[in-house]
Amino acid sequence: MRGFLLTVASFGLTASVVGHAFFQKKQFYPSVVYLTKSNPSMAVIYMQAFVMVVLMGKLFKTVFFGQLRAAEMEHLIERSWYAVTETCLAFTVFRDDFSPRFVAMFTFLLFLKCFHWLAEDRVDYMERSPVISWLFHLRVLGLLAVLGALDMIFMNYAYHSTLTKGASVQLVFGFEYAVLFTIIVNISFKYVLHTIDLQSENPWESKAVYMLYTDLIMSFVKVMLYTVFLAIMIKVHTFPLFAIRPMYLAMRSFKKAVNDVIMSRRAIRNMNTLYPDATAEDLASSDNVCIICREEMVTGCKKLPCNHIFHTSCLRSWFQRQQTCPTCRMDVLRTPAATLRAQQNQQQQQQQQQAQMPGMMPPFPGYPFWMPQFHPGAQFPNQQQQQQQQQAGSPAASQQATQAPGGAAAATTPAAGSQPGDASTSATQAAAGSTEGVAAGTPASPITPSSVPPFPFMMPPPPFFMPPFATPPPMPPPDFAGLTEEELRAMEGTERQHLEARIECLRSIHTLLDAAMVQIQQYMSVVGELGIPPPPPATSLYGYTSPAASGPATSGPATSTTLAASVPDSTTTTDSADSGATPKTSPGTVPTLRKDKDSSADLTSLDGAAGFTPPTEGELIPEYEEDTPEEVDHSEIRRRRLQRLESAGSDNQ
């Protein structure tokens, strides 16, 4: 209403001024001359021109936008203030060129800018409104075309004027219109993307990615434009103070775009590598609604380590912002990273050992058995479960069970076999651990020395790494009533081989230990240089080496389990402490047991003599091939490794 009154007043004033001039001078030209000579009349006419510009703006607004929404209006006013201030700053730089024409051009630029912002808001609005009319499309297309054409014309004009007349204020206009043109291009891209999205019933999943890249490219172009503009302006005129704020904004948005793209890529990579697709059972067991979009989940879902299931696209856009589970806020990046770190640790250690002692690396058949006493706190449930299944299921184990009833093998196998299949809960794990312990320890009591000879399992644990809580050495079955003559004889016949294998094993252990000591000393010197405070002791390298060393010895019938039971006694102390130090809490991720591949070959070589059937490779090697994320903190790995080794060293000294 006030605006309307002002407009009417302006028209009235102009009419009276012009009428007055005509009335005084009677003729056209004298009256025009009179008007231009008199300052008050000119002021009135300038006012009128301004009112007219505003009216023009309103007309175009009505044509292209209809009613403005409150948010758009707010946005527009807020931005206009900045634009006006910047224009005033620009006037100070070009005060020599100051003329009505110059002011008119700046005003026009301001109006065009307003229309660009409005167009941006309008196209963003497409995403929010459920009702998009044909009129809307027509308006947006028309607006984009008109604005684009105007930008081009003015850019062209500025370019030619700069070429012919040299650098002037047209330079500023040229750059301003170039920047506006990038905005138009950006808006057009977005419009196209939104339109494609609107055509389909379901949300278009890859739209977000396209938007990200459009933003990235456009903000890069903008930053480049501003940089060039700044350079030219400093060279030709002075420092363009008025361009600082938009330039800063452009750089910030570019940085944000880069960041977004990086986060998005990381999220997508994590999605593809770390998290498994949700199976139909997973979907059936949960309530089947994606918590992010509140839509039903049918296909294309991912399961996080915390067992929460989401749409892949929803999860991706969430991970772009945050690397936590939306439901339970578990840090999804941290957990697998820690596990992988530990895994890397082990692998590196093994590699180092292998590198240092080529040919001296014995197989690792005992390796899986260091698990049972590992840590009842449940570190690698899957692996443990697999071992149990191995023990229970492998033909060797069952055979031994029949051959030596009541023996260690028999004790172990049913114990392991009796575990429920889902040994993944910590309770069952603890139970499993204790059963293994019992299997290892309790058969000792009923044993009589006379029954020892046929069984070559009496290897005492090497004294130098006798753990504090060593259980008595495992004992053979109390009697051989269940065995036939042939079997007993066969056992006696292989005794010598067993002993040889055992001695061989002890030798390898010795060599390994020497090598390990050398390694530890090396590491200690490194640690000493770095000056890292020593962590609490209780870890040892031997956790990895000794089960390995026991490998060749596992040649007698029924010894694989007894040995397995004995070896962990000596070694897993270190391992459990070790596991306590490294947080490997992800149930889904387990270190790779690649080394078992190597060992299985040696196992097969022992096959004939031992009557021990090495588990087939597929059974023995739970393979968890995981892509190592690049973002695993290498320094962190280093630190952990050093800590571990240092503590190992202090253990030994």
Partner 1 sequence: MLMRRSGLPPCDQCVYVLICVICAASSVVEEVTRSCQISPHFYTTITMAGAALKRLMTEYKQLTLNPPEGIVAGPLNEDNFFEWEATISGPEGTCFEGGVFEAQILFPPDYPLNPPKMKFKSEMFHPNIYADGRVCISILHAPGDDPMGYESSAERWSPVQSVEKILLSVVSMLAEPNDESGANVDASKMWRDEREKFNQIAEGIVRKSLGLPPAPS
Query: Which residue ranges make up the site for partner 1 (CB under 8 A)?
Result: 11, 18, 27-29, 32, 35, 45, 48-49, 52, 55-56, 58-59, 62-63, 66-67, 69, 71, 124-135, 194, 197-199, 201, 203, 291-295, 313-314, 317-318, 321-322, 324, 326-327, 329
Least Å distance between CB 640 and partner 1? 26
Phi first, then psi, for residue 277 (nearest 5°) are -70, 145
| Closer by beta carbon to partner 1, 315 or else 642 | 315
Residues 4 and 51: their CA atoms lie apart, in Å, by 10
How is residue 385 written in tokens? 């479960």
Least Å distance between CB 79 and partner 1? 18
Q: How many CA atoms lie within 13 A of 568 on its CB side?
A: 25
Residue pointed to by tokens 């690792």? 364
| Closer by beta carbon to partner 1, 300 or else 453 | 300
Strands 301-303 and 309-311: what pairing?
A: antiparallel
Residues 173 and 103: their CA atoms lie apart, in Å, by 12
Distance of CA 197 to the CA centre of its chain: 27
| Closer by beta carbon to partner 1, 135 or else 481 | 135
Least Å distance between CB 77 and partner 1? 17
Least Å distance between CB 38 and partner 1? 14
Least Å distance between CB 384 and partner 1? 31
| Closer by beta carbon to partner 1, 35 or else 411 | 35
| Closer by beta carbon to partner 1, 131 or else 280 | 131
| Closer by beta carbon to partner 1, 201 or else 486 | 201
Nearest to 332 by CA among 296, 302, 293, 294: 302
Positions of E strands within 348-503: none
Residues 6+ apart with CB under 8 A from 546: 366, 462, 465, 509, 512, 567, 570, 571
Nearest to 361 by CA among 369, 351, 373, 370: 351
Question: Are residues 366 and 385 in contact, defined by beta-carbon separation less than 8 angstroms?
Answer: no
| Closer by beta carbon to partner 1, 215 or else 436 | 215
Least Å distance between CB 124 and partner 1? 7
| Closer by beta carbon to partner 1, 319 or else 544 | 319
| Closer by beta carbon to partner 1, 328 or else 530 | 328
- What value does the CA radius of gyration of the chain take, rounded to a whole number of Å? 40
Residue pointed to by tokens 């299985």? 600
DSSP string, 189-254: HHHHHHHHHHHSSSPPTTHHHHHHHHHHHHHHHHHHHHHHHHHHHHHHSS--GGGHHHHHHHHHHH
Least Å distance between CB 132 and partner 1? 6
Query: Is 513 strand, coil or helix?
Result: helix
Residues 6+ apart with CB under 8 A from 638: none
Least Å distance between CB 11 and partner 1? 7
The DSSP letter of residue 457 is -
Least Å distance between CB 290 and partner 1? 9
Least Å distance between CB 197 and partner 1? 6
CA distances from 429 to 331, 387, 460, 467, 581 (A): 25, 12, 27, 22, 19
| Closer by beta carbon to partner 1, 318 or else 465 | 318
| Closer by beta carbon to partner 1, 331 or else 623 | 331
Element (H, E) at 302: strand 301-303
Least Å distance between CB 105 and partner 1? 17
